[in-house]
A and B are shown apart, each in its own frame.
Chain A
Amino acid sequence: MAYILLAVLLLPYMVLQIQIGQAVLRTENLRVVTLCFFGQTLISWKSGKQRTVARSSTEAEYQALADGTAEVIWLLHLLTDLQILSASAPIIWCDNLGATYSSANPVFHARTKHVEVDYHFVRDRVAKKEIQIRFISSQDQLADVFTKPLPTSSFTAFCFKLRVDPPPLA
């Protein structure tokens, strides 16, 4: 049995952070994951099969980025309703360099030809400085536990990072 711990953070402003991850399984399509953290607390997560066909990992990651952006915008509206202001624009951590670069630089690459709609949607938000997109290496991102079966050691490590803790000794 494990618990989720919601941590206390006494910072005046907590930054919304999103992690986007993906993994290819032998037998299935690509899986995409979106994790949203507020401060250190995981508040929203989604693991699912990819919704459309992608011809490259950059393309797939870019589609995931568009989904993640939509989720962030929803959470930003929610925070505005709660009258909580963030000190900086929310950060989306993406583990694919190609997708990270395409979100900032308006150059179409051969591998991103077919994602124009998602492309414009995300780029528009980045240009308006509503969100920031940064690169995170695959080792550091937390999405793996949502995309593939893991051996005990890494599973426990991920649970710890997601703040799913074992029960305290009663």
Chain B
Amino acid sequence: MNVVSNRWVYKIKCRSDGSIERYKARLVARGFTKQEGIDYSETFSPVIKQATVRLVFSVAVSCGWKIHQLDIHNAFLNDILDEKVYMKQPQGFVDSALPSHLCRLHKSLYGLKQAPRAWYTRLNDFLLSIGFRASKVDTSLFIFSVGLDICYLLVYVDDILLTGSNSLLLQRLIQLLSSEFKLHDLGSVHYFLGIEVQSTSMGLMLFQHKYILDILTRAGMLSCKPIDTPISTSKATILLDPLFSDATRFRQIVGALKYLTFTRPDICFTVNRVC
């Protein structure tokens, strides 16, 4: 039998403008101490594709639909575990009478290898049971159609986007979801996957202002002089800057830049070049 240890994780949650929203403490299982076959079997959990997000945004904007963003509280704590997982008692809450006892986990915890998959399966089963249909080409897209009305639901782990042709139907679906999960309706989408969304008279604007500032801060280039194009046309890019002597750091920044191409197709070539 394998025993999983645990740890408390403290985090400061920020809003899209960088101000502090709340302080958070969470008990996580140290899932890397688990063994495959004993503590978990399948771990893969699908996430939404970028093209799908953009396509659904585009359709919603064209039809003038409101895009709701829903946030599920403590999504991973909802799921019932199939496997038998034992964990040490949480730090600071050890029973003084029985210090050598273990906890048998009934429900999932953050940090467990199978937590994302268990959550996806649970949400998937629930959505199918209330009449949604999963898309065949993107398993994180769910469609609900009744008569001429249609609703789309996009799932990115515990972030959910819901849009559709009938606002009453949307309200009913949100009610159905909140009867099963503890969720928070954030209203119109404005901050999804680190992307800021602003609606204007011309449509929706997507930008990653905060994300760009984070990358610049991390790279120590906040005070650098801006230039007009991402790559020089004349000379080949020379990577001799001391920043790039550290391979790990270079890869971290390139990885961060790759996600930035979500709203910046113009730097796609340059990012691809430095990979």
Interface residues of A (CB under 8 A from B): 1-11, 14, 27, 31, 36, 38-39, 41-45, 47-48, 74-75, 77-79, 81-84, 145-152, 155-156, 158-159, 162, 164-165, 167-168
Please measure, in the bound complex, the distance between the C-alpha atom of A78 and the C-alpha atom of B18, giving whole angstroms.
35
From A7, A75, A145, A150, give the contact of B233 (CB < 8 A): A150
Q: Interface stretch among B48-56, B68-76, B170-178?
A: B48-56
CB distance from B199 to the nearest CB of A (A): 10
Instruction: Judge whether B212 and A1 touch: CB under 8 Å.
Output: yes
Q: Which residues of B are at the interface with A, using a C-beta cutoff of 8 A?
A: 50-52, 54-59, 61-62, 135-138, 141, 143, 145, 150, 152, 200, 202-207, 209, 212, 228-229, 231-233, 236, 263-266, 268-270, 272
Of B50, B141, B143, B269, the residue contacting A83 (CB under 8 A) is B143
Pair A155/B266 contact, Cβ less than 8 Å = yes
Measured CA separation A116–B265 after assembly (Å): 32
The 8 Å CB contact of A78, one of B55, B204, B205, B231, is: B55
CB atoms of A7 and B266 under 8 A apart: no
User: Are A7 and B272 touching (Cβ within 8 A)?
Assistant: no
User: Taking CB as reference atom, which chain A residue is nearest B50?
Assistant: A44
4 tightest Cβ-Cβ pairs between the two chains A and B: A44-B51, A81-B135, A43-B54, A152-B228
B269 touches A44 (CB 8 A): no
* Residues on the B chain within 8 Å of A45, using CB: 265, 268
Q: Which residues of A contact B61 (CB under 8 A)?
A: 6-8
Which label, helix, strand, loop or mixed, suits the secondary structure of the B interface? mixed
Q: Which of B56, B57, B236, B266 has the most CB of A within 10 A?
A: B266
In the assembled complex, the Cα of A4 lies from the Cα of B207 at a distance in Å of: 7
Q: For the complex, what is the distance from the CA of A41 to the CA of B231, rounded to whole Å?
A: 25
Residues of B within 8 A of A165 (CB): 205
CA distance A82 to B60 in the complex (A): 11
Closest to B270 in A: A149
Of the candidates A8, A27, A162, A167, the one whose C-beta lies within 8 Å of that of B62 is A8
Residues B56 and A167 in contact, CB atoms below 8 Å apart = no
A42 to B51, CA, bound (A): 9
Whether A6 lies near B204 (C-beta < 8 A) is yes
User: Bound complex: CA of A2 vs CA of B232, how far in Å?
Assistant: 19
Residue of A nearest to B237 (CB): A149
Having A78-B141, A150-B233, A155-B229, one finds 15 other A-B pairs with CB under 8 Å, namely A1-B209, A6-B58, A7-B203, A8-B202, A74-B137, A77-B136, A78-B55, A78-B138, A81-B141, A147-B269, A149-B232, A149-B233, A155-B228, A159-B266, A164-B265
Instruction: Give the complex CA separation of A10 and B200 in angstroms.
Output: 16
Q: Which residues of B contact A79 (CB under 8 A)?
A: 55
Of all chain B residues, the one with the shortest Cβ separation from A74 is B137
A167 to B196, CA, bound (A): 13
Contact indicator A4/B205 (Cβ below 8 Å): yes
Q: Do B229 and A36 touch across chains, with their CB atoms under 8 A apart?
A: no
Which residues of chain A are near B203, meaning CB under 8 Å? Answer: 5-8
Among the listed B136, B202, B263, B269, which residue makes an inter-chain contact with A7, where contact means beta carbons less than 8 Å apart? B202
Q: A38: which of B58, B135, B150 is its contact (CB, 8 Å)?
A: B58
Shortest C-beta distance, B226 to chain A (Å), equals 9
Chain A residues positioned under 8 Å from B51 (CB to CB): 36, 43-44, 75, 78
The answer to whether B62 touches A47, judged by C-beta atoms less than 8 angstroms apart, is: no
Selected contact of B52 from candidates A9, A78, A149, A156, CB within 8 Å: A78
A8 to B58, CA, bound (A): 8
Interchain CA distance A78-B135 in the complex, whole Å: 8
Identity of the chain B residue whose Cβ is nearest the Cβ of A167 in the assembled complex? B207
CB-nearest residue of chain B to A144: B269
Say whether, besides A8-B62, A155-B229, A82 and B55 are in contact (CB < 8 Å): yes
Q: List 29 A-B contacts (CB under 8 A).
A: A3-B207, A5-B204, A6-B54, A6-B204, A6-B206, A7-B202, A8-B61, A10-B62, A27-B236, A38-B55, A38-B59, A42-B54, A42-B265, A43-B51, A44-B50, A47-B268, A47-B272, A78-B137, A79-B55, A81-B138, A81-B141, A82-B143, A82-B150, A145-B268, A147-B269, A149-B232, A149-B269, A158-B266, A165-B205
